[in-house]
Amino acid sequence: MINVCVIGSGRAGMIHARNFASRVTGAKLVALCDPVPEALASAAKELGIEKTYTDYRQVLEDPSIHAVVVVTPTVFHRDIVCAAAEAGKHVLCEKPMAMNETECLEMNAAADKHGIKLQIGFMRRFDESFRYAKKQIESGAIGDVVLVKSVTHGPSIPQPWMYDIKKSNGPLAEVSSHDIDALHWYTGSYISEVYAIAGNYRSPDAVADYPDFYDNVVMTARFLSGAQGLLDGAQGVRYGYDSRVEILGTKGIIHVGRNQEHSVLTVSPEGIHAPYVQSWRTLFLDAYYEEDKAFVASIAEDTMPLVTGLDGLEAVRVVNAGNTSIIEKRPVVIRR
């Protein structure tokens, strides 16, 4: 039995915590950690967990805990993951992996040095539809991949701490990291050059103190393979949660994702109505479960995680290059 502690009891943290509390075979949620006492108490009460910590360092000193799930703001990921590796704890780290390339390299080096598993939380790779699309590509159904377009529009208004790009890396990190990973995954190649434009259209509270903040971004990409990419990200769209990918090949196309809450279409004299998906928490709930199962399996079977620290590193490189492109209004070469 692999004993797990979830560090961070926010929205994503609670999805992981509920999975490990009751659904994931071979693992058990034994502790929770959150620096906010009220949030920690609420989470512990819901899940029936007695062992709680307000400082992650206390978690790492507990020999009964074998693995941690890091679901904190990105600025804390490097320190927590490196300390967990040194303590011999396996780590599932939510995306974005870290703030910059140096931090990612340090995290990967710590995992390698101490022989722990480090999996990055790109849960879309575990979604049934996204995985089926990958199998279709590998089967040659659409020929060679030419272009991947990925869209993520979220309804949530950004949290105040996200307004500071230096601390959050902006929506490219918070919203579009999944899209960047999807581009890498479906092309089977890494991005070599990006050009991004962005603007603030829905977040007036950020304008005065954070003029660089953006809630809408479009980024084009060139891959080492020669393929092309397009990313469309937005926050605060209000109409619902929207996640879609289009994969164009030399002899076909694949459309991935859905935006209807369920497959019911109501037609009446008042018009046509189809409920829209409102949150990633419902759309990808099963994907989180499969992700958590895969993390436990990699520990139990001593295999490489299906999403590695290298995958996290490459996404962070693209985020940083995209932000540079936005600020400097020019294409940015990541590698040739």
Domain co-membership, 81 together with 169:
no
Q: Is the dihedral of CA 41, 46, 50, 51 positive or negative?
A: negative
Domain co-membership, 242 together with 320:
yes
First to last CA, the chain: 46
For the chain, percent of residues with pLDDT exceeding 90? 88
Structure tokens at 323: 């932000």
Cα 333 to Cα 175: distance, rounded to the nearest angstrom: 22
Contacts of 136 (CB under 8 A, 6+ apart): 142, 254
Q: Which residues pair with 67 in a beta bridge?
A: 4, 90
Instruction: Please report how many Cα atoms fall inside a 13 Å half-sphere around the Cα of residue 114, on the Cβ side.
Output: 19
Domain co-membership, 181 together with 80:
no
Domain co-membership, 92 together with 141:
no
Domain co-membership, 115 together with 161:
no
Structure tokens at 43: 């989470």
Domain co-membership, 178 together with 323:
yes
Q: Which residues pair with 92 in a beta bridge?
A: 69, 119
The pairing of beta strand 271-273 with beta strand 118-121 = unpaired
Q: What is the dihedral of CA 210, 215, 218, 223, to 10 degrees?
A: 80
DSSP letter (8 states) at residue 158: P
Domain count, the chain: 2
Predicted pLDDT of residue 263: 62
pLDDT beneath 50: ranges in the chain? none
Cα 11 to Cα 162: distance, rounded to the nearest angstrom: 16
Predicted pLDDT of residue 271: 81
Domain co-membership, 206 together with 327:
yes
Residue 38 sits in a domain of what CATH number? 3.40.50.720
Domain co-membership, 63 together with 182:
no
Tell me the residue ranges of DSSP E strands in the chain: 2-7, 27-33, 51-53, 67-70, 90-94, 118-121, 145-153, 191-199, 216-223, 228-234, 242-249, 253-256, 266-268, 271-273, 332-333
Structure tokens at 283: 């759309």
Domain co-membership, 21 together with 114:
yes
Q: Which residues pair with 195 in a beta bridge?
A: 220
Domain co-membership, 196 together with 326:
yes
- For the chain, the farthest-separated pair of C-alpha atoms sits apart, in whole angstroms, at 66
Predicted pLDDT of residue 201: 97
pTM: 0.93
Domain residues for the domain of 18 are 2-124+287-308
Instruction: Provide the 10 A C-beta neighbour count for residue 278.
Output: 13
**CB burial of residue 108 (10 Å; 0-12, 13-18, 19+):** buried
Predicted pLDDT of residue 159: 84
Predicted pLDDT of residue 268: 75
Domain co-membership, 166 together with 218:
yes
Residue 182 sits in a domain of what CATH number? 3.30.360.10
Predicted pLDDT of residue 278: 77
Contacts of 28 (CB under 8 A, 6+ apart): 1, 2, 3, 4, 20, 21
Domain co-membership, 24 together with 68:
yes
Predicted pLDDT of residue 77: 98
